[in-house]
Amino acid sequence: MDRADTLELPEITRVRVIYADTDQMGFVYYGNYLRYFEVARTELLRQVGMPYRDFEQREKRQLPVIEAALRYRRAARYDDELALCAAVDHVASNSRFVRFLYAIRRVDADGRPGEHLVDGHTVHACIDAEGKVTRLPPALRDAISARALPPPPAPAPGT
């Protein structure tokens, strides 16, 4: 089970669903939620002081995605306002990968994040200018550690 199921992820930013995002079923096209995940991830990195554009330019690193997963619970509709919630998972000090968790919620009539629509995660490898997988640079690790989730609890004995 995904940890996003049991965690309340903080809201990062909001988007409005436009016609371009919908399909003829009248809902957001299933692939477009990965756009929203990108918006959430990008704004989260900006909020911790490490905009992804700067990361690419200063650190000469990239974070290509190696895995993505989505669960679709309810559909977002045209003109819905969506609260994009996200967090970074705990990063070990020698880690070469980083994992983001997402939850997309419909903003309700009170202007608050309401119904859970879609959640999921992405995993990214850190690669250097030659494309080799490498450790996350300390600057990134420090930036996200303030916002990262706590490490998962060690399993209790006997489980």
Contact between 148 and its own copies per CB under 8 A: no
User: Do 102 and 142 meet the contact criterion of CB atoms below 8 Å apart?
Assistant: no
| Burial (Cβ within 10 Å: 0-12, 13-18, ≥19) of residue 34 | middle
Contact between 55 and its own copies per CB under 8 A: no
Contact between 5 and its own copies per CB under 8 A: no
Contact between 32 and its own copies per CB under 8 A: yes
99/122 with CB nearer its own copies: 122
Among 5, 8, 25, 133, binds its own copies (CB under 8 A): 25
Contact between 27 and its own copies per CB under 8 A: yes
Among 14, 48, 52, 107, binds its own copies (CB under 8 A): 52
Compute how many other C-beta atoms are within 10 angstroms of the C-beta atom of residue 82. Answer: 24
**Minimum gap (Å) between residue 144 Cβ and its own copies:** 18
Distances (CA, A) of 137 to 26, 35, 125, 129, 143: 43, 26, 12, 13, 10
Q: Which two tokens stand for residue 96?
A: 């070469």
Q: How many CA atoms lie within 13 A of 123 on its CB side?
A: 9
Binding site for its own copies (CB under 8 A): 16, 18-20, 22-27, 29-35, 38-39, 42, 51-53, 62, 64-73, 75, 77-79, 122
